[in-house]
Chain A
Amino acid sequence: MTDQVPPADRLAEDREGIGLAASSVARPAAVQSVGQLALHEEPVSVPSDRRLAYEAGVELEARSQWTYVRIRFFHHRLAVASLVVLILLALVAIFAKQLAPYQYDALDLDNIAASPTLEGTHWFGTDFLGRDYLSRVIYGVRTSLWVAVFVAALATAIGTAIGAIAGFYGGHVDNLLMRVTDLVLTVPGLAVLLTAAVFLGAGDTKVDVGPVSVTIPQPMKIGLILALLFWTSFARIVRGLFLSLREKEFVEAAKAAGASDLRIIVRHILPNCVGPIVVTMTLIIAIAILTEAALSFLGFGIQPPQAALGKLIAEGQTEGFALWWLVTFPGLAIVIVCLAINFVGDGLRDALDPTQRRTRA
């Protein structure tokens, strides 16, 4: 039945023509049932399980799609545990100033190159300058998470907007998008990132926009570079979803009801793309953390004295491998954050898949 519906763009061309007439004939069943509901007082199409429950005297709670999502997610134990870990880490990052035992650049010259110990206050040890590594790691996580969330938000916004427009309208916009994607695919990603990082330079940048002077802090600059590379994954996914969704009956119905293009895109199609977008976001956050760490490690990312996990590891490398804790702890922090994000993403993928009615036992 659905196969008979002509593509939406053809429908748009002959709105009063045969296309629309044919499609409304093509699905009489749905039209009729709606008609009956409107005409008769008596509810004809009450869901049978609800009626059965009513007759048995049982209260049946209606479950929305989101309830199912929540139930399925909370049955994925690893994902829930990871979410808890992530929330805790985020809280530590947000309240770093209150929680960190020392300032990240404070020197404790009585305890230089101290190995990790649970007795004193330097749980993760100190470096050759006596800087407390627990505090530095906490501030590093703060920087990393900040960059990652910024990248994910920006890349999602750009990618979704472009993907939606390309997928909905097709034609030239779509062509242009695919060409840009090809460009990004052809050039080695890390090379672009490194070149762009050199291009934008180290430290904070002052940008004069007319009379206003805006200072872009360095983590935000790294975030901008990463977002400019990562938006393509969102654009491609959203474009694909829009290409298939724009042919669906509910879009046709919205068009027939006179909805504007913007309304159809935002209110009708976009909510159906939330699942894949959210899952891609988790993937991008993890990749952004790993890439930012690699950039900072190579010396093209965040510069000292600001604490970034990649930079901390690089400092550990230059200070010699005998101080193993300088390399170990920042790296472990990255692994834990990325692992937790990936597990949450895995749980969300299962939970947000509407074809999966079964909840995990």
Chain B
Amino acid sequence: MLTYVVRRLLYSVVVLLAASFIIFSFVSLVSDPLAFLKMTPNVSEQTIKNLEERKHLNDPIPVRYVYWVKDAVTNQFGTTSRHDRPILPDLWRVMKNTIQLVVVAELLAILIAVGIGVYSALRQYSAFDYTATTFSFLGLATPVFWLALMLQVMVVNIYGWTGHRIFPISNLNSVDPGSGLSFAIDRAHHLVLPVIVLMVASIASYSRYMRASMLEVVNADYVRTARAKGVSERGVMMRHAFRNALIPLVTVVALNFGALLGGAVITETVFALDGMGLYFVNALGVGDPYPIMAWLMVTSTLIIVFNLVADIAYGYLDPRVRYD
């Protein structure tokens, strides 16, 4: 088991290096992070030359890549090209916000999806099952950004008709959020719509997985055995069927969670939430390789870790799986 984990991690380092070089070349080849400064009239040639010198912007890309690796390891990913702003503190701040959003949305989604999936499986081909199936298909066919916009449209139009603002449609907090409990309430109020948007896609796919794995388990031999030895129907379902049916979902959730921590790019953009996704989109707009690379390394590491967690959890929950 330990050798398996170590081998996977070592291998991931190689993959990360390869991926980082490709992305670094892409970004560096096309965009000039100082383009904006060069167009600003009162910035002197000398200032720009100095910046280029200090950031090694005129060196060949492989050399710049090596400088970046050095910066990343010894200097916490360095500073942005344009404003010389340290990258890591910004990254921690947006990550904290993204974690709040994603954890709340995913926990709620898991609870609801498990409920829907189990009930659909126990009442297969019932009206409830068909309704749930239809809605999950609908959820999977709906673009996330459109759903977010439609909620905003709804809120804005309700405001227009009634003068009541039900939910804020952008930002993480009001201008003056207060502190302590009032801050928390203000934050929660702002997160309602983004959480709903994130939940819809997750519920749609999780409930399908849950239904499928529950159906498989319900017809398994050990469930019949449990019935035959006289376990109550409730006991069979809860102790024997349900717990085993959860195992595949653990993998799916872990994988999705890792990806979402990189930022729900679209949700955060539409609702102007100061999270990982918006950070990335903004950095890409500026064309500065340093924040983009920092974001990419943190996100890829999270994905790798959660992939590993998914595999280990699977091996732990299902004793038949063995890693050599």
Contact = CB atoms under 8 A, between A and B. Distances in A.
Interface stretch (B19-27, B104-112, B243-251): B19-27
Contacts of B299: 188, 191
Given A199-B30, A321-B156, A322-B156, A327 B307 contact: no
Interface in B265-312: 265-266, 269-270, 280-281, 284, 287, 292, 295-296, 299-300, 303-304, 307
B262 interface: yes
Contact of B149 (A186, A195, A331): A331
Contacts of A327: 146, 149-150, 153
A313 B266 CA distance: 13
B16 A290 contact: no
B145 A196 contact: no
A328 B153 contact: yes
Contacts of A335: 138, 141-143, 146
A80 to B, nearest CB: 16
A67 to B, nearest CB: 27
A335 B137 CA distance: 10
B238 interface: no
Contacts of A321: 152-153, 156-157
B144 interface: yes
Contact of A187 (B141, B145, B156, B300): B300
Nearest to A199: B26
A198 interface: yes
Contact of A192 (B23, B29, B152, B281): B23
A179 B19 CA distance: 12
Contact of A339 (B137, B150, B269): B137
Chain A interface residue count: which class? 35 or more
Nearest to A338: B141
A290 to B, nearest CB: 5
A300 B30 CA distance: 14
B262 A191 contact: yes
Given A286-B141, A297-B145, A342-B140, A186 B31 contact: no
Contacts of A182: 11, 15
Interface string B10-44: 01100110110001001101110000000000000
Interface in A168-224: 179, 182-183, 185-188, 190-192, 194-196, 198-199, 201
Nearest to B24: A195
Interface string A323-345: 01001101100110011001100
Interface in A278-316: 286, 290, 293-294, 297-298, 300, 310, 313, 316
A115 interface: no
A195 B23 contact: yes
A185 B304 CA distance: 9
Contacts of B29: 199
Nearest to B281: A298
B27 A198 contact: yes
A201 B280 CA distance: 18
By CB atoms of chain B within 10 A, which of A183, A188, A316 has the most? A188
B300 A186 contact: yes
A240 B31 CA distance: 40
A187 B137 contact: no
A183 B26 contact: no
Contact of B145 (A192, A195, A294, A338): A294
A22 B68 CA distance: 61
A359 interface: no
A23 interface: no
B319 interface: no
A188 B260 CA distance: 9
B259 interface: yes
A198 B149 contact: no
A186 B303 contact: yes
A293 B156 CA distance: 23
A191 B157 contact: no
A230 to B, nearest CB: 16
Given A186-B304, A327-B146, A331-B150, A198 B157 contact: no
Interface in B57-91: none
B307 A185 contact: yes
B230 interface: no
A330 B143 CA distance: 11
Contacts of A298: 145, 265-266, 269, 281
Contact of B137 (A179, A198, A343): A343
Contacts of B163: none
Given A195-B27, A195-B284, A286-B140, 13 more contacts: A179-B15, A191-B262, A191-B295, A195-B26, A199-B29, A199-B30, A201-B30, A290-B143, A300-B284, A313-B145, A321-B156, A335-B142, A335-B146
22 contacts: A182-B15, A186-B303, A187-B303, A188-B299, A190-B265, A191-B23, A191-B299, A192-B23, A194-B265, A194-B281, A290-B143, A293-B143, A310-B143, A310-B145, A313-B146, A317-B270, A321-B157, A331-B143, A331-B150, A334-B141, A335-B142, A338-B141
In the complex, the 4 A-B pairs of residues with the closest C-beta atoms, listed nearest first: A338-B141, A331-B146, A321-B156, A339-B141
